[in-house]
């Protein structure tokens, strides 16, 4: 890695934050590091130009992700486009609660999810449709409920980025069977 790129403390802090917290958007990153949006944007663009971070659009938000560096054995592998998409939803409160709830069961109806996610029925429908369109949720076999399309990926991302408690992970293993969380 070119040491000159990360010689500036603000830039180094931003890079480390994105590595530890992929999928956050600009305002969240700026808030977390107590930086102005303009300053955070400037340095993130610089990091992007030097191929240390990448971004993808999540409808209205530009979300940032680390890139793997050749020879950097401590860095997590670069995220695939599918993983970026799932992580973008995991960073939003309502989709996160829906996914956490569905991960604890094989499938659930709109009504059952509504009992655990405190939003209006129309707001929940909106988020379920978005996640279904993105391929994160699928229809249950009964065609009434919803299920997580790729529970192994969701579990791995939630465990890797400390979005799940050990109790939740134990429950997933019980529900989904034994799978590797690497």
Tens digits of residue pLDDT in 19-46? 888 888 899 999 999 999 999 999 999 9
Q: In this predicted model, which residue has the larger pLDDT, 160 or 2?
A: 160
Q: What per-residue confidence (pLDDT) applies to 163?
A: 75
> Comparing C-alpha atoms, which of 175, 129, 173, 136 is closest to residue 154?
136
Q: What angle do CA 48, 54, 138 make, to 5 degrees?
A: 165
Q: Radius of gyration over alpha carbons of the chain, in Å? A: 18
Mean pLDDT, rounded, of the chain: 83
What is the mean predicted confidence (pLDDT) over 44-59? 86
Q: What per-residue confidence (pLDDT) applies to 73?
A: 45
What is the mean predicted confidence (pLDDT) over 154-174? 75
Comparing 29-38, 136-145, 172-181, the range with the smallest average pLDDT is: 172-181
Q: What per-residue confidence (pLDDT) applies to 2?
A: 55
What is the mean predicted confidence (pLDDT) over 65-91? 74
Pinpoint the residues of the chain covered by CATH 1.10.10.10.
9-75, 85-176
The beta-carbon contacts of 163-168 under 8 Å, at least 24 apart in sequence, are 163/90, 163/96, 164/100, 168/100, 168/103, 168/104
**Does residue 41 contact residue 11 with C-beta atoms inside 8 Å?**
no
Architecture of domain 9-75: Orthogonal Bundle (1.10)
Distance CA 17, CA 54 (A): 13
Distance CA 121, CA 47 (A): 41
What is the mean predicted confidence (pLDDT) over 158-163? 79
What is the mean predicted confidence (pLDDT) over 96-100? 92
Query: Which residues, in sequence order, are bridge partners of residue 55?
Result: 64
CATH of 85-176 given 1.10.10.10, 3.40.190.10, 1.10.1040.10, 3.20.20.70: 1.10.10.10
């Amino acid at each position: 890695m070119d040491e000159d790129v990360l010689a500036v403390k603000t830039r180094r802090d931003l890079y480390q934050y994105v590595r530890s917290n992929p999928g956050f958007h600009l305002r969240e990153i700026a808030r977390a590091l107590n930086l102005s949006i303009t300053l955070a944007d400037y340095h993130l663009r610089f990091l992007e130009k030097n191929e240390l971070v990448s971004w993808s659009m999540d409808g209205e938000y530009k979300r940032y992700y680390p890139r793997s560096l050749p020879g950097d054995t401590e860095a997590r592998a670069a995220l695939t486009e599918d993983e970026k998409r799932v992580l973008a939803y995991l960073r939003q409160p309502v989709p996160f609660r829906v996914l956490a709830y569905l991960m604890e069961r094989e499938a659930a109806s709109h009504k059952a999810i509504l009992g655990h996610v405190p939003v209006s029925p129309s707001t929940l429908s909106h988020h379920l449709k978005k996640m279904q369109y993105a391929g994160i949720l699928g229809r249950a076999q009964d065609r009434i409920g919803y299920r997580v399309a790729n529970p192994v990926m969701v579990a791995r991302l939630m465990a890797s980025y400390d979005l799940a408690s050990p109790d939740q992970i134990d429950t997933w293993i019980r529900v989904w069977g034994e799978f590797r969380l690497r």
